[in-house]
């Protein structure tokens, strides 16, 4: 086993809040420069740039996990991850049917671009992606786990869009695989404020919207290999696998 460096919360040009420099080429370049072994693309309520990112990651020797940052009906942001394209595409169908049709205003919110390996624009998404789904956090969690995925409430320490700010607690029936704290958060302070999170695995990522933010905060995983299966086993605390925020 060995330690692998991971940043599993990165936005691309598909997220309206993502910088236009956050195309797949630049993201992979920055991940390599920051010596990351694993990254995840987690655009808001859409996975349409994940496949090209995965292909480019393979060429660069970087594992790219398929991900989406979902905004639930309660306005809780949650990170969702999937092992393969089949599951990802089924989840995309779920997202498409659950996202209200509110037309994006690029001049106000930003562009939402699907691109290829040359960063040429293939499509601009008309439906605004940052709004909340018409699905509860429990419905999203159940769908994710039904597809064999991983479900992690995002930036739980934040005063908006975190599970504590929006709901006030972690429902006992909610099956979560870990809790994410933001890149500026202190784990010890968070444990003091919210001791109930001690029973969960706690991770942290950059939540990068600009190239220079990639790898600003990473979590290291002690496991057999840089694969989804090994990461899932590490979150479950199987064997000697471990996690540390650096």
pLDDT at 242: 96
Enter the tokens of residue 242.
């471990």
Average pLDDT over residues 156-163: 97
Q: What 3-state class would DSSP assign to 80?
A: strand
Q: Give which of 180, 135, 130 is closest to 154, Cα–Cα.
A: 180
Residue 120 backbone dihedrals phi, psi, to 5 degrees: -80, 140
Q: 187-191, 223-227, 231-235 — which is least confidently predicted?
A: 187-191
pLDDT for the residue numbered 29: 97
- Residue 67 sits at the vertex; the CA angle it makes with 126 and 72, to the nearest 5 degrees, is 65
Residue 108: the pLDDT is: 95
Structure confidence at residue 135 as a pLDDT band (50, 70, 90): very high
pLDDT in tens, 14-69: 999 999 999 999 999 999 999 999 999 999 999 999 999 999 999 999 999 999 99
pLDDT above 90 covers what percent of the chain?
99
Tell me the mean pLDDT in the region 218-242: 97
The pLDDT of residue 198? 94
Query: What's the mean pLDDT in 141-163?
Result: 98
SS3 174: coil
pLDDT tier at 5 (50, 70, 90 boundaries)? very high
Q: In DSSP terms, which residues pair with 81 in a beta bridge?
A: 67, 150
Backbone angles phi, psi at 223, to 5 degrees: -160, 180
**How much of the chain, in percent, has pLDDT values that exceed 70?**
100
Query: What CATH number has the domain bearing residue 239?
Result: 3.20.20.140
Supply the pLDDT for residue 140: 98
For residues 75 and 1, what is the distance between their CA atoms, to the nearest angstrom?
Answer: 38
Residue 27 CA to residue 23 CA, distance in Å, equals 6
Q: How many CB atoms lie within 10 A of CB 90?
A: 14
Q: What is the pTM of this model?
A: 0.96
Q: Would you state the pLDDT for residue 37? A: 98
Q: Environment class of residue 172 by beta-carbon count within 10 Å: exposed (0-12), middle (13-18) or buried (19+)?
A: exposed
**Candidate from 89-93, 187-191, 230-234 with smallest mean pLDDT:** 187-191
Question: Where residue 219 falls among pLDDT bands split at 50, 70, 90?
Answer: very high
Q: What is the mean pLDDT of residues 100-112?
A: 96
Residue span of the structural domain in which 145 resides:
2-245
In the chain, how many domains are there?
1
E strands present in 108-237: 113-115, 121-124, 150-153, 179-181, 202-204, 219-223
β-pairing verdict for 63-71 and 38-44: parallel
What is the three-class DSSP state of 19? coil
């Amino acid at each position: 086993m060995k330690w692998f460096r991971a940043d599993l919360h990165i936005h691309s040009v598909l997220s309206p809040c993502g910088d236009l420099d956050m195309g797949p080429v630049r993201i992979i370049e920055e991940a390599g420069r920051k010596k990351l072994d694993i990254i995840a693309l987690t655009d808001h309520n859409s996975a349409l740039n994940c496949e090209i990112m995965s292909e480019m990651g393979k060429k660069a020797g970087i594992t790219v996990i398929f991900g989406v940052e979902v905004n639930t009906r309660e306005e809780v942001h949650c990170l969702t991850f999937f092992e393969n394209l089949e599951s990802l595409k089924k989840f995309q169908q779920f997202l498409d049917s659950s996202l209200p049709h509110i037309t994006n205003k690029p001049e106000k919110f930003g562009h939402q671009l699907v691109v290829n390996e040359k960063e040429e624009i293939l499509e601009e998404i008309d439906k605004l992606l940052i709004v909340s789904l018409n699905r509860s956090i429990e419905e999203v969690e159940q769908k994710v786990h039904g597809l064999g995925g991983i479900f992690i409430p995002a930036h739980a320490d934040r005063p908006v869009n975190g599970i504590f700010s929006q709901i006030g607690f972690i429902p006992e029936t909610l099956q979560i695989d870990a809790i994410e704290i933001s890149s500026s958060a202190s784990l010890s302070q968070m444990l003091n404020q919210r001791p109930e999170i001690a029973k969960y695995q706690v991770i942290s990522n950059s939540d990068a919207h600009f190239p220079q933010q990639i790898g600003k905060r990473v979590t290291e995983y002690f496991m057999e290999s840089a694969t989804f299966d090994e990461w899932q086993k590490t979150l479950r605390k199987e064997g000697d696998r471990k996690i540390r925020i650096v």
